[in-house]
Structure 1
Amino acid sequence: MRITFLLLLTVLFSACRQSTNQTRLLNGNDWQMEELDAQNWQLAQVPGSVQSDLLRLGKIPDPFLLNNQDSIQWISEKNWRYKKSFTISPSLLKTKQHILKFDGLDTYAKVVLNGHLILQTNNAFSPYEFNVTEILQLQNTLVVTLYSPDSIEAKAALNLGYTLPEGPRVYSRKPQFQYGWDWGPKIKTMGIWRDVSLISYSDARLEDVFIQTQEITTSQALLKANIAVMSFVADTGCVIEVINNTTGEIHSQGILLDRGTKNYSIGFSIKKPKLWWTHNLGTPFLYDFTIHLKKGNTILETLHKKVGLRTIQLVTEKDTLGERFYFKLNGKPIYMKGANYIPQNIFLSQVRPQEREKLLNDALKANMNMLRVWGGGVYEDDLFYDLCDEKGILVWQDFMFACAMYPGDKEFLDNVKKEAITNVKRLRQHPSIALYCGNNENSEGWQRWGWQAGKTQAQKQEIWNSYQAVFNDILPKVVDSLHASISYWESSPKFGRGDKRYQFQGDAHDWWVWHDGYPFEHFEQAVPRFMSEFGFQSYPGYKTIKYFTQEDSIDLSHPSFESHQKHSRGFEIIKRYMKRDFPVPTNAEDYIYVSQLLQAYGITKGIKAHRAAKPYNMGTLYWQLNDCWPAVSWSSIDGLGNWKALHYKVKQAFENRIIVPFKQNNLLKIKVVDDGPITLGEPMQVLFYDFNGNILHQTPTKSVRTFNEKNQVVYQVDLREIEFDPKQTYAKVLFGDIQEVYYFEKPKDLNLPMEGFDMKTKIVSQGIEISLKATTLQKNVFLYTDTPGHFTDNFFDLLPGEQKNIIFVTKEPLSKPLQYKTLNALQP
């Protein structure tokens, strides 16, 4: 019956004339560019930037290499011009309406078509469109002039009369990270960075479609399709069809067109709905919809939407300790595990779809269910959110404001409002959107970072009023009016670490570790309700370092390291922490290896402490997932896409079920953290081994039950009853089908055996299978090769007598034998 219905549907649609509305992309490599009035036109690529075009043409050195970034700062001080000639057919020209649309102009631009000024822009985050019906010809010339942000920002600052924290960038609605951050270079791009298109239509077009979930029960979901139609004609009958391709149902409504934009709605239901879940709790199911605007038998326009049925709620209820902060997905409290995401490339248009998908697959492989899109970057492209929808990863979405105070004049506020409206409309269909957050650390900076020093009372009040206008008026009202089912959070964090309340209310950024030098154990002693930022730096992979130094070997004194470490105290801090917890090698490759172990050691200590404190703590998002260029940074995946030690360790720490042993006084206590279904009882046992694999002690097996909603100590061992040397002993905790190893001393204080293990390889369908076995403990085995590929596990402990099998996923044969490092070889 269903097959017959779908066949009938196909026949009916084939009888309709295809869409008369057309969208033509004007992208490509047939644009030209010049420095303004230099009369030196050269081929350019759109989407792109002035910097990426000059690099492609060989006019500037690669800023990712050596110290080259310093030599290209002149580019953003100049004005530039792009132009393109294009033709359209006589039949298309006769179409009644033509819209020229720019999805992204960075940032201050003047657009001229056939000698007519049609647009002047001042926001890289907002799309711009203009009706060019009266201007369009068979032969057309489109010219885009881009103006340096420097002089515009300087003029705005002069007009204000006092300095806003943190400098000129606050006046430009442009990606803030381009002005330089403590992990990224200062490269203020200019260009046409997203698609350019010509939209042509006869009578009307679908301007916006939002399929809104109104109510969900187990028996049905009630939905409403909100459809905005832009019409050029009046008193003309049309039909809107909403087709659920998943169920085969069609819902239609006749409308009478009126000139301008008019909103329509169609209510419908889905029986026995399948819900959208994060990947660790279920299936991120998506319904597939097609929306037609029809006039008679002619389809004027078609849009496609993927819809996930779910409810998501931020809960901030008071309790005896302060105020909770957690998310409910489909009515179920859910623990958030993930990271902070920054743009994948300083040159935004250079990120290829396969790179976007690889990064999100890497997040998925590491068992993340939430990414925070940080406010100093960009509202990401549609593909990013589509992939999060498909993969079951929730998105904490910052608005694009970070670490600064912003103007409050009418022009700026109007600009912000338009930006917020266009981006919330674009993002609201995505089931992955879990939260809109006003800014990153602006409130904390104003209260705690000395920004008020030197300001008069009147100036301070004016700055704070501007803050309130953006973050407590414009943005929450936009979210409430356009995407009311999603919560708005004013600023992340709610309180800075200098405020005692940071541990008991809202979300927290804990930079006592790193910036203030606190030991990693601080993470275990000061657990907040939701950790939305914490981190530690490490060096990138060997291949990445060789790439930016342009050397075949690694020398930590190479001058390019200074420009690829953007934190003023970064190298010093890494070394200081390394001395606390690890041996400090003198060899460069060993030092890089240990820096990654150090980062993984500290951050996973924090993750486990956060997860073990559930439900007091309900989320941990470390800083940061990725890089925008090759650098020494906080990322777990380096600038060339290589996994650092942290990413491998996060993969384990974010499993649905983990064991968390910890020492308290003379007791070894054990918690089991379980984000999945509860267990009625599984066996647990603790075995004590020396590093040669001899069993020193084993506890009785005990049946242990886990509880999803609360973690508690389920097992403990009195260490006074066991004779062992803590420098040469580990405890292995067995629970069901998982295990965890606990060491009683810091890595630097362990008396590790000599390095040595057997390694065998064989070719398999995925690449190369590697089998390793040792008679003694081999600590943090790191395998590496120049051959492109990925290890399914790395930086692991090879326990005595146990065989470890991993896959090196690759399509190429090894150019030379695998290389390895262990902590054992670095013993003094």
Structure 2
Amino acid sequence: MKHQEVTSGWTVTATAGELPEAVRGTWPAMVPGSIHTDLLAAGAIDEPYDDAHENDLEWFHRTDWLYRTELDLEPPAAGERIDLVFDGIDTIATLKLGGTVLGETANMHRSYRFDITGHAAAHDLEVDIRSATIWAEALREELGNRPATNAPRPFNFVRKMASSFGWDWGPDFRTAALWKPVRIERWATARLAQVRPVVGVAPDGTGTVQVHVEIERSGLEPDTALELTAEVSGVRTTTTIAAGENGAVLSLRVPEAPLWWPVGHGDQPLAELSVELKNDQIVDAWTRRIGFRTVEIDTGDDEYGTRFSILINGKPIAVRGANWIPDDHFVSRITRERLDRRLDQALGAHLNLVRIWGGGMFESDDFYELCDEKGLLVWQDFLLACAAYPEEEPLRTEIEAEARENVVRLMPHPSLILWNGGNENLWGHEDWDWKRRLGDLTWGQDYAQRLFRQIVAELDPTRPYSDNSPYTPRRTPEQSHPNDADRGTHHQWEVWNRIDWTAYRSEIPRFCSEFGYQAPPAWRTLTDHVRATDGTALAEAAAPYADPVFLIHQKADDGTGKLERGMDPHTGVPQRFEDWHWAAQLNQARAIRHAVEHYRSYWPRTAGWIVWQLNDCWPVVSWALVDYEERPKPVYFALRRAAAPRALYLTEGTLVAVNDTDEPWLGTSEVRRETFAGEQHTSGNFTVSAQPRSVVVLPLPADLTTAKDPAGEVLVAELDGLRAVKTFGEDVTLTLDPDPLEVSADKVDGGYRIDVRARSFASDITVHPDRLASDAQVDDGVISLPAGARASFLVTSTADLDPAGLTRAPVLRTANDLKAVAVRTASPATGSGGHMVAD
């Protein structure tokens, strides 16, 4: 088979819609690409991610576009077929070659193939893309409205990335694009239409692969017998596909196959599986890397409810995860290199799973290949999120087709361990007033509870399927709520929306697949992209947290109010924006640390957690650990310490040692209660004997856990170089020294070292190196030191930094320094209070 990429000579022209004069005309187009980025490259629009430019681009929602290029095709050789293949079209399109309609598309998440053998003399290729908004609104009118987050935006009536229409962390740009490659494929006799490897491990350790192959014959010559060969790890087998037949199954057995394990549990050996289709010569070939492993989800009942425990190769895995959204709203800009960096940041935070959320997309092959290599487990949602989805045509056929295609595409990857039927749809039907509003209308129950389950069982039978997230297995009248913390998966959004983050400890979920807390991005990320309404810098605005332009980059319903009401009982609400920004970031770090420490303390009852969210798709105030410009927020470092394979916590009255390694953790922990100035009141030594993959909870005596002066004392525990600290009140009640550190900074090999020593208890020391240089990074953060303790930070940058600037605010901050700033009253509650934008 011969491939010819169709990447050059593309142009794009608006053909309908009320568009500005500046974008009229014909523009060069990148394929793969996006029309927004084409217009940006041509200077026809301003940077969409800056300031209020999102609002300036609303005209795009109702505009039609015409892509055009000239194909340079040689006539087909004898018996040769020519196919035109589109890997991804966003979204509603009519395709013409030489004026002849080849077909129509209505799904961003599918690929399309057209036989153009009889049109090889034609050259003019056109892709006419209609407004997905207008198309979806018309279908909504025809089928009847359904409730949805973000209503009235009709994302649930078109098979397009839901977050294209905006979300409570993302912009509303409603892209149109040839967002994946376009190519010509020339072939003869037959091609491999589908290769589906079902990989397993027999009880004796033999790796097994059932290779299900479907072929397409060209139809240009008589059918002939074809030879089909598959090989993996030196094991090879061959069969014959007889004339008139279009498929076969090949079985491979690899003795003592090396097992693929998630990170922290073993190695990630990958084996190349190759398939060849031959006549007198090879007519088509297929190659992927696979890994031998088994996966199960234990959803059995116990004394606490219903488990949701992931087992790899029969071993329970304590899941430490993060939810994943598309890493750029303009998804064609996401490169393998960017994904590699982002997934390395997940590993750097000691995470072992990423959940691909159902309002985004099925990610690129690069994403899953990198997860295979790194040992990151992948939980994959089918693409339904936070809405009622019609089960009528034309959506039903499209949803089934995209599910089938992507199950087959992704099933070779050992990192992929769970198919999930969607996000919050079952919960929405139960709790968000959908039943009354829907009446007898369909809403997607059949997709979640039958269709997807059936597709997975048919095509990918070795992987588990879950109906939704959150989801209660085996629902009965007595156990019916889909978001029951005691049964299956659970989303915790009362914290953030309505109650303080200390309430994470009010429940012990079996598996918390969503929880999160907001904060602004890094200072430079925010200020490089956002200015106040009058064009001044945010720090110079009178009330930047309420500025209309700032709020374009704060999508959460009443988001600023929730940030401030969340800060109020802990740090207070600073008046000055720079202090407000730091307090908000600090509160996010503490909230997520608090939740993770709680969840991990209850392993294996709580079998895992997945924080919302790892990444951002543009510069925005959000729940992300890492912002759009790839800068970790303080929460990243707080979570990294809380999620470490070995971690030490102080909770209410107990010392907790988490040992998620394969070796015992034995030692003696010193626990002491002392003043902020370092005067010791009492101490004790406690034997820690944590067996592999276990948690030890040691009660502490009252003389340690009861303070004489709650405003000025701290509890400190140390073990094997780890330290845990716990104050006896919130910052607003504590007598923290606002200037507790001795600090020096020096240029060293590899960067700049900041050395700190605590004169008095120093809470959550954090370095913000982006305040000095755009590429500056720091190796750690959110560290608390009792009096007399020391710590060092390494800052790296290509810039020539002033070491003195690293020793003081706004670069070096502590929770203590917020004691010296002016505060104000938190914003009153407004809006619906929901996690998502109210419908």
Using the size of structure 1 for normalisation, the TM-score is: 0.90
- Could you tell me how far apart the structure 2 residues matched to 1:158 and 1:479 are? 32
Equivalent in the alignment of 2:82: 98
For the residue of structure 2 that corresponds to 1:224, the secondary structure is strand
The answer to whether the aligner puts 1:204 opposite 2:187 as a matched pair is: no
For the residue of structure 1 that corresponds to 2:434, the secondary structure is coil
Could you tell me which of 255, 261, 267 is aligned with 1:271? 255
Unaligned runs of at least 5 residues, structure 1: 1-20
The answer to whether the aligner puts 1:772 opposite 2:756 as a matched pair is: yes
Q: 1:547 to 1:722 in 2, by over 3 A?
A: closer
> Which one-letter code corresponds to 1:804 in the other structure?
A
The answer to whether the aligner puts 1:32 opposite 2:21 as a matched pair is: no
- Could you tell me how far apart the structure 2 residues matched to 1:725 and 1:689 are? 10
Q: 1:258 to 1:231 in 2, by over 3 A?
A: farther
Equivalent in the alignment of 1:288: 272
State whether residues 200 and 293 of structure 2, in contact with CA within 8 Å, keep that contact through their aligned partners in structure 1: no
State whether residues 237 and 252 of structure 2, in contact with CA within 8 Å, keep that contact through their aligned partners in structure 1: no
- Could you tell me how far apart the structure 1 residues matched to 2:360 and 2:333 are? 15
Could you tell me which of 795, 800, 809 is aligned with 2:787? 800
For the residue of structure 2 that corresponds to 1:493, the secondary structure is coil
Shift in Å at residue 503 of structure 1?
1.9
Could you tell me which of 652, 656, 661 is aligned with 1:676? 661
Could you tell me which of 231, 238, 248 is aligned with 2:217? 231
Q: 1:723 to 1:212 in 2, by over 3 A?
A: closer
Q: 1:163 to 1:805 in 2, by over 3 A?
A: closer
Q: How does 1:200-349 map to 2 (within 5 A)?
A: 200-217=186-203, 219-232=205-218, 233-244=221-232, 247=233, 249-256=234-241, 258=243, 262-296=246-280, 298-349=281-332
Equivalent in the alignment of 1:431: 414
The answer to whether the aligner puts 1:823 opposite 2:815 as a matched pair is: yes
- Could you tell me how far apart the structure 1 residues matched to 2:637 and 2:616 are? 17
> Which one-letter code corresponds to 1:344 in the other structure?
D
Residues 148-204 of structure 1 deviation map (CA, whole Å, 9 limit, x = unaligned): 123222221222245544442211011111212111121111111111111111222
Residues 121-168 of structure 1 deviation map (CA, whole Å, 9 limit, x = unaligned): 01111111111111123x622100000123222221222245544442
Q: How does 1:149-228 map to 2 (within 5 A)?
A: 149-165=132-148, 166-167=151-152, 168-217=154-203, 219-228=205-214
Q: 1:211 to 1:769 in 2, by over 3 A?
A: farther
- Could you tell me how far apart the structure 1 residues matched to 2:242 and 2:611 are? 51
For the residue of structure 1 that corresponds to 2:444, the secondary structure is helix
Mean Cα displacement is larger for which, 772-781 or 521-530? Answer: 772-781
Equivalent in the alignment of 2:512: 531
Shift in Å at residue 263 of structure 1?
2.2
> Which one-letter code corresponds to 1:358 in the other structure?
R
> Which one-letter code corresponds to 1:35 in the other structure?
A
For the residue of structure 1 that corresponds to 2:695, the secondary structure is coil
For the residue of structure 2 that corresponds to 1:770, the secondary structure is strand
> Which one-letter code corresponds to 1:236 in the other structure?
T
Shift in Å at residue 237 of structure 1?
4.5
For the residue of structure 2 that corresponds to 1:430, the secondary structure is coil
- Could you tell me how far apart the structure 1 residues matched to 2:521 and 2:94 are? 41
The answer to whether the aligner puts 1:596 opposite 2:585 as a matched pair is: yes
- Could you tell me how far apart the structure 1 residues matched to 2:401 and 2:305 are? 36
Mean Cα displacement is larger for which, 785-794 or 330-339? Answer: 785-794
Q: 1:316 to 1:54 in 2, by over 3 A?
A: same
For the residue of structure 1 that corresponds to 2:666, the secondary structure is strand
Q: How does 1:320-399 map to 2 (within 5 A)?
A: 320-399=303-382
State whether residues 759 and 773 of structure 1, in contact with CA within 8 Å, keep that contact through their aligned partners in structure 2: no
Could you tell me which of 557, 562, 571 is aligned with 1:568? 557
Equivalent in the alignment of 1:132: 116
For the residue of structure 1 that corresponds to 2:441, the secondary structure is helix
For the residue of structure 2 that corresponds to 1:521, the secondary structure is helix
Q: 1:722 to 1:542 in 2, by over 3 A?
A: closer
Residues 667-693 of structure 1 deviation map (CA, whole Å, 9 limit, x = unaligned): x31122222225273222212332223
Could you tell me which of 703, 711, 736 is aligned with 2:687? 703
Equivalent in the alignment of 1:585: 574
The answer to whether the aligner puts 1:632 opposite 2:618 as a matched pair is: no
Shift in Å at residue 803 of structure 1?
2.9
Could you tell me which of 777, 787, 809 is aligned with 1:790? 777
Equivalent in the alignment of 1:44: 29
State whether residues 615 and 709 of structure 1, in contact with CA within 8 Å, keep that contact through their aligned partners in structure 2: no
- Could you tell me how far apart the structure 1 residues matched to 2:200 and 2:784 are? 50
Q: 1:255 to 1:164 in 2, by over 3 A?
A: same
Matched residue count: 787
For the residue of structure 2 that corresponds to 1:66, the secondary structure is coil
Unaligned runs of at least 5 residues, structure 2: 18-23, 821-839
Shift in Å at residue 513 of structure 1?
0.9
- Could you tell me how far apart the structure 2 residues matched to 1:650 and 1:103 are? 38
Shift in Å at residue 250 of structure 1?
4.6
State whether residues 221 and 273 of structure 1, in contact with CA within 8 Å, keep that contact through their aligned partners in structure 2: yes
> Which one-letter code corresponds to 1:334 in the other structure?
I
Equivalent in the alignment of 1:507: 489
Shift in Å at residue 612 of structure 1?
0.7
For the residue of structure 2 that corresponds to 1:106, the secondary structure is coil
> Which one-letter code corresponds to 1:521 in the other structure?
T
> Which one-letter code corresponds to 2:396 in the other structure?
L
Residues 487-523 of structure 1 deviation map (CA, whole Å, 9 limit, x = unaligned): 11112112699959712111111111122x2121211
State whether residues 179 and 186 of structure 1, in contact with CA within 8 Å, keep that contact through their aligned partners in structure 2: yes
State whether residues 239 and 252 of structure 1, in contact with CA within 8 Å, keep that contact through their aligned partners in structure 2: no
Using the size of structure 2 for normalisation, the TM-score is: 0.89
Q: 1:204 to 1:185 in 2, by over 3 A?
A: same
Shift in Å at residue 584 of structure 1?
2.5
Q: 1:254 to 1:484 in 2, by over 3 A?
A: closer
Shift in Å at residue 399 of structure 1?
0.7
State whether residues 731 and 743 of structure 1, in contact with CA within 8 Å, keep that contact through their aligned partners in structure 2: yes
For the residue of structure 1 that corresponds to 2:520, the secondary structure is coil
Equivalent in the alignment of 1:541: 522
Could you tell me which of 43, 46, 49 is aligned with 1:64? 49
Q: 1:95 to 1:537 in 2, by over 3 A?
A: farther
Shift in Å at residue 749 of structure 1?
2.3
> Which one-letter code corresponds to 2:211 in the other structure?
A
Q: 1:619 to 1:163 in 2, by over 3 A?
A: closer
Shift in Å at residue 227 of structure 1?
2.6
Q: Which one has more relative contact order, counting CA pairs under 8 Å at least 6 apart? A: 2
Equivalent in the alignment of 2:832: none
Shift in Å at residue 117 of structure 1?
0.8
Equivalent in the alignment of 1:9: none
For the residue of structure 1 that corresponds to 2:118, the secondary structure is coil
- Could you tell me how far apart the structure 2 residues matched to 1:368 and 1:518 are? 27
For the residue of structure 1 that corresponds to 2:198, the secondary structure is strand
Q: How does 1:108-147 map to 2 (within 5 A)?
A: 108-137=92-121, 140-147=123-130
- Could you tell me how far apart the structure 2 residues matched to 1:646 and 1:317 are? 34
Residues 725-749 of structure 1 deviation map (CA, whole Å, 9 limit, x = unaligned): 2322222212344332222222332
State whether residues 627 and 638 of structure 1, in contact with CA within 8 Å, keep that contact through their aligned partners in structure 2: yes
> Which one-letter code corresponds to 2:66 in the other structure?
R
For the residue of structure 2 that corresponds to 1:582, the secondary structure is coil
- Could you tell me how far apart the structure 2 residues matched to 1:500 and 1:250 are? 46
Equivalent in the alignment of 1:447: 430
